[in-house]
Amino acid sequence: MLNTIFFFALMAAVTGVPFYFNYRFQNTPKEQRNTSAINSLAAKLSVFVIFSLYAMSFLAIEIRSNGYSKIGFCSCILSFFLLYSFRGKMIHEVREIPANPKERFQRSFRTVIAMGLLYGIYFATVQLLIPHTGIFPAVAAALIFITYSTPLFVRVWMPTQKMHESSIKSDILAVFKSAGSPIHEIYLLDTDRFKSYNALVCGPKYGFGPFRRSLFVTKNLFEVLEPEEIHAVVCHEASHFKLHHVAKRGAMSLVGLLVGMITVILPMGFISILCNVALYKSFGFAVFTTLACLTVQMNFLYRVIRKQEFEADIEALNLGASAAALTSALEKITEKNGMSRVKEDQLSRFMFGHAHPSTEERIAAIQEGKLPSDSKIFPTWKWNAAYASFIFVLGTFALMSLDSSTRQRLPASENTLNAQEAKSEK
């Protein structure tokens, strides 16, 4: 009964997240409203919805109701739809874009459909494979499929059209070919009404059909950037393929999952032994460890993405981009998107799309021509040594406790026999 009440309370909180977002900004002074603040709060609330989705999935398993699982999933999708609908409305007001409720609805609807497909396929794949393969292979298969099918999700997310043959398209294709990573197609993202400026690459090297490796560029980008700046942006995106960042990101997501399992489940297992309690049978233990592992994995991937962006900027210079053009392109994109030049939201590490370094950090790295000292994926050796020491001490006490508890549970006859053997040895 308590699990059911908690499930519906969590579902109500998730459904209320968009209205809290709307209330928060309706009561914010106009001079404090900006795109960065809107995206920051939206990222925080999105993290809450994602974590709630995992928690409700475990609650549905505990309640033994597949119907509850579907209800929880639908509530999260509804929350995302309303949240990004309100977010679009706020950004339109802040950036003084003429109101068009129909277009805002269509964009929010496409966003939710894409996210619904993404998380739906992920959870469906995991739940289908777990009984046969275990959790780690199931999650690995789901992540590989999502990485492979990203081009399709992008096309569902935003309206796209193929770029017509032109000298610009030929130059872009030539850059990718020189990087040793030719792409199959270039798509223009139709975001003119929303004043969005960006470019991204995705897809596997040997993809087929809608999963082919592609470059996606917003139409507006060609209006605000000079030809040499466009070339610099393309070199940055080509560098991701040249450095095999797509494949590495997929592999590192699995490493992040493994790191999360080791850093969370191992100490929890030792604590279970010390307390002589079967925590692994507890529903709360399952929820806590899963969310903790997810937190570690997301933080790990955040560090991976951060380092890859620095690497792509440096490699773009080797592909022919000038430091001045790449720097000015970053500044223009940041200004036109209404973003902050410095990183203000630490929770952005839970939203991979916002995990890029700040503009100031990237410009400094481009000017120096090397990676920043704080762009390492794993923590410093001091943190690793401290954690290893903690695990060693905790494991030592756990093994001592396990040995003593095993002796106490021996039958009386075995205890007597052991005592006689010890006496005879003396």
Q: For 308-317, what is each residue's pLDDT tens digit? A: 999 999 999 9
Please indicate whether residue 85 or residue 172 has the higher confidence score (pLDDT).
172
Query: In whole angstroms, what is the distance from residue 190 CA to residue 158 CA?
Result: 7
Backbone phi and psi for residue 50, each to the nearest 5 degrees, phi listed first: -65, -45
Please indicate whether residue 344 or residue 77 has the higher confidence score (pLDDT).
77
Cβ 238 vs Cβ 175: under 8 Å:
yes
What is the arithmetic mean of pLDDT over 387-404? 79
Per-residue model confidence as pLDDT tens digits over 267-312: 888 888 887 777 666 667 777 777 777 778 777 888 888 899 999 9
Please indicate whether residue 315 or residue 88 has the higher confidence score (pLDDT).
315
Label residue 417 by pLDDT band (50, 70, 90): very low
Query: Can you give the pLDDT at residue 278?
Result: 72
CB under 8 Å to 220, separation ≥6 — which residues? 191, 192, 195, 196, 197, 336
Backbone phi and psi for residue 215, each to the nearest 5 degrees, phi listed first: -110, 130
Please indicate whether residue 418 or residue 72 has the higher confidence score (pLDDT).
72
Q: Which residue carries 């789901």 as its tokens? A: 142
CB under 8 Å to 202, separation ≥6 — which residues? 150, 151, 154, 213, 214, 216, 246
158-224 topology per CATH: Zincin-like (3.30.2010)
- For the chain, the structural domain boundaries read 1-148, 158-224
**CA 335 → CA 89, 91, 291, 332, distances in Å?**
20, 14, 35, 5
Query: Can you give the pLDDT at residue 343?
Result: 60
Cβ 185 vs Cβ 208: under 8 Å:
no
Q: Which of 157-161, 260-264, 314-318, 342-346 has the weakest average pLDDT?
A: 342-346
Query: In whole angstroms, what is the distance from residue 108 CA to residue 80 CA?
Result: 9
Query: Can you give the pLDDT at residue 235?
Result: 92
Query: Can you give the pLDDT at residue 353?
Result: 53
Q: What tokens does 148 get?
A: 């492979």
Query: Can you give the pLDDT at residue 281?
Result: 66
Per-residue model confidence as pLDDT tens digits over 48-70: 887 888 778 777 766 676 677 77
Q: Provide the pairing of β-strand 185-189 with 199-202.
A: unpaired
- pTM for this model (two decimals): 0.73
**CA 239 → CA 142, 361, 375, distances in Å?**
26, 18, 17
